[in-house]
Amino acid sequence: MTRLMATLNSHYLKLKAGYLFPEIGRRVKSFTDSNPKAAARLIRCGIGDVTEPLPAAVRAAMHTAVDEMGTNEGFHGYGPEQGYEFLRSAIAQGDYRDRGLEVADDEIFISDGSKCDGGNILDILGSENRIAVMDPVYPVYVDTNVMAGHTGEANEAGAYEGILYLECNAENGFVPAIPKEKADIIYLCFPNNPTGAVATRKQLADWVAYAQKHGSILLYDAAYEAYISDSSIPHSIYEIPGARECAVEFRSFSKNGGFTGTRCAFTVVPKGLTALSSTGNRLPIHPLWHRRFTTKFNGVSYVTQRGAAALYSPQGRSEVAALIAHYMENAMILREAVAASGLKVFGGVNAPYIWVKGPEGVTSWQIFDRMLTQAHIVVTPGSGFGRAGEGYFRISAFNSREKALEAAARLKALVW
Ligand code: MLT
């Protein structure tokens, strides 16, 4: 049949709803537009967006970099696509080698965000791979696979055909059991968004063993590793022997250095990590990711990378520690308030997210509406993260102390 016009990527039409956070934004706007008084008292505990100022060490480094850019000698045009060596080596040394983990500078790829990296990595992986995700899950992992055509349609409950959903619930401590079935690509996120759960060394070792047995790749999202307070919990998947042969790790400066608006993150792709080509050859994926980077990306700005590198200075490290302490005290305040209201609370100890089981029989979106209209607090409905999140809601601890205290007082006063 002759086509009448250009075609679009029909996989996008399989996507069930708008992306979760813009959808929440729309609902909040429609409520506040018609309730201006409520708008003034609104407390946002929905999207996990940092609220506190950029560390002074970062600002100073960025100012200096801007001034350099104003001189002939210090001007920087296109930088290396993979990131400047000064930042890659600060990361490889500071986050890995100083902790006894083998990661080379050129295994680090600097980007503008883990969300982007998590979606972009699909460019270099085969389309026949069976994908497994935790449920509930950060929606980006699922949606980007739908967009890439790696799934069938969604069923009534919103689950996409072809994806293996690994249920996380209160019984398994929100850490999924190792599946009996084989999956090729497994997304793991610890500390977890949205549940705040962490995986023990043994649990991660079981996942590495699973990946080794099946020739799978673990896509390990460690964006919240700085929030780990329990010293027995691994910060990196590379703390598990064998992970360099089966895991990619995503990290971000968004939640530790306050870079959600500044944009800088990185991905670790070990050179020993291989996958099969269509002709059955086992090939490293590092050169493909490098090729993708150099072809589709021009790198993060010099000024931003200088700012990120300052997070590794003694001053930067102590400022990050203070930011984490600030948000984690909020988490404690909010956790206690929810517990006092009689609801069951999870997370919020090694992660900035508090995961709450709502009252029996009330859906996540009903809770969202009730919190918005009665308490004027924005939360994230658990079902927005997947079927297994139904009946739960997530409270973000990213806020000023004043707002966290006010939110806690309102949560305690709420009658369910
Ligand atoms: C969230 O609220 O889940 C996060 O802000 C998502 C993100 O980091 O992209």
Condensed to tens digits (0 to 9), the pLDDT of residues 93-150 reads: 999 999 999 999 999 999 999 999 999 999 999 999 999 999 999 999 999 999 999 9
Q: What is the mean pLDDT of residues 252-261?
A: 98
* Structure confidence at residue 21 (pLDDT): 84
Percent above pLDDT 90 for the chain:
94
Evaluate whether 126 touches 275 at the Cβ level (below 8 Å).
yes
Lowest-confidence region among 1-5, 18-22, 190-194, 285-289? 18-22
Give me ligand 1 centre to Cα 283, in Å: 33
Q: What is the mean pLDDT of residues 19-24?
A: 82
Helix or strand run (H / E) with residue 393: strand 392-396
**Ligand 1 lining (C-beta closer than 6 Å):** 47-49, 115, 193
Percent above pLDDT 70 for the chain:
100
Please state the atom number of ligand 1 nearest to the C-alpha of residue 115: 9
Q: What is the mean pLDDT of residues 337-354?
A: 97
Predicted confidence band of residue 158 (pLDDT cuts 50, 70, 90): confident
Give me ligand 1 centre to Cα 143, in Å: 14
Give me ligand 1 centre to Cα 20, in Å: 10
Q: What is the mean pLDDT of residues 334-359?
A: 97
Q: What is the mean pLDDT of residues 382-406?
A: 97
* Structure confidence at residue 272 (pLDDT): 96
Using most ligand atoms within 8 A of CB, pick from 193, 378, 393 the residue to mutate for ligand 1: 193
Residue 51 has pLDDT above 80, yes or no: yes
Predicted confidence band of residue 295 (pLDDT cuts 50, 70, 90): very high
User: For the chain, how many residues are written?
Assistant: 416
Please state the atom number of ligand 1 nearest to the C-alpha of residue 396: 2
Per DSSP, the residues of 249-288 read EEEESTTTS--TTT--EEEE--TT-EEE-TTS-EEESHHH
Give me ligand 1 centre to Cα 141, in Å: 12
* Structure confidence at residue 23 (pLDDT): 83
* Structure confidence at residue 22 (pLDDT): 83
Nearest CA to ligand 1 atom 6: 48
Please state the atom number of ligand 1 nearest to the C-alpha of residue 140: 9
Give me ligand 1 centre to Cα 47, in Å: 6
Burial 140-155 (b: 16+ CB within 10 A, else e): bbbbbbbbbebbeebe
Residue 20 has pLDDT above 90, yes or no: no
* Structure confidence at residue 156 (pLDDT): 83
* Structure confidence at residue 3 (pLDDT): 84
Nearest CA to ligand 1 atom 4: 48
Please state the atom number of ligand 1 nearest to the C-alpha of residue 46: 2
Nearest CA to ligand 1 atom 9: 115
CA–CA distance, 367 with 271 (Å, rounded to integer): 46
Predicted confidence band of residue 415 (pLDDT cuts 50, 70, 90): confident
Q: Is 202 left (phi over 0), alpha (psi -120 to 50) or beta?
A: alpha
Please state the atom number of ligand 1 nearest to the C-alpha of residue 138: 3
Give me ligand 1 centre to Cα 300, in Å: 20
How far the first Cα of the chain sits from its last, in Å, is 59
Q: What is the mean pLDDT of residues 192-199?
A: 98
Per DSSP, the residues of 23-80 read HHHHHHHHHHHH-HHHHHH-EE-SS----SPPPHHHHHHHHHHHHHHTSTTT---S--
CA–CA distance, 253 with 258 (Å, rounded to integer): 7
Residue of 325, 323, 354 lying closest to 341 (CA atoms): 354
Q: What is the mean pLDDT of residues 2-19?
A: 88
Residue of 263, 331, 254, 349 lying closest to 50 (CA atoms): 254
Nearest CA to ligand 1 atom 1: 48
Residue 1 has pLDDT above 70, yes or no: no
